[in-house]
Amino acid sequence: MKMSINGLSAVVLAVALYVVPAQAQQCANLSSTLGVAIQAANAAFDATQTSANATATAAATLNLLQILQAATANLNAVTGIAASEGATLVLLPSAAFTDLSAINNNLTSVTQTLQAFIQNLLMGITTPTTLPATVGTTLSDTLALIQALPPICE
């Protein structure tokens, strides 16, 4: 009997999830506080991704110019994250603050990893010649968090 009740509960839940449509996610106005914070998080993500790509290129080529370009890209990413953190702070008592803070923390972790990697390249420590796997994993996880944010209203 217990098995059939659990089975019935599962069926009712499945039907309820299928029949009840997901609540539409409201968009964030471009000039609203939330909209500005989302745009800043997107820009910080893009800058961090650019930094990761530049660092990967520097590691593959071991060219001093490429290494310096990676260092510059990483500095730009850190600056973008700082702007995102500033835009996030005004949302302090909200769920959006929590989500955006998680994004900023992930991006900070990536830039710190990249900075250490770049420093090793500048010191002539060339092993390993590929970025740590955590960089790609963290960027992928962060992208999922960004995609879960409300879209910007058109």
Tell me the per-residue pLDDT of 18-35, one tens digit each, with 9 for 90 and over: 433 444 569 999 999 999
In the chain, the amino acid numbered 68 is L
Q: How far apart are the first and last CA of the chain?
A: 54
With 0-12 / 13-18 / 19 or more C-beta atoms within 10 angstroms meaning exposed / middle / buried, residue 51 is buried
Question: What percent of the chain has a predicted confidence (pLDDT) above 70?
Answer: 84
- The span from the CA of 74 to the CA of 112, in Å, is 9
Query: In this structure, what are the phi and psi dihedrals at residue 152, rounded to the nearest 5 degrees?
Result: -80, 130
Whether 13 has a pLDDT exceeding 60, the answer reads no
Kind plus residue range of the DSSP H or E element containing 59: helix 33-61
Whether 126 has a pLDDT exceeding 70, the answer reads yes
Residues 38-50 pLDDT 10s: 999 999 999 999 9
Q: Indicate the pTM of the whole model.
A: 0.81
The confidence score (pLDDT) of residue 2 equals 43
Residue with more model confidence, 148 or 12: 148
Q: What is the mean pLDDT of residues 123-130?
A: 82
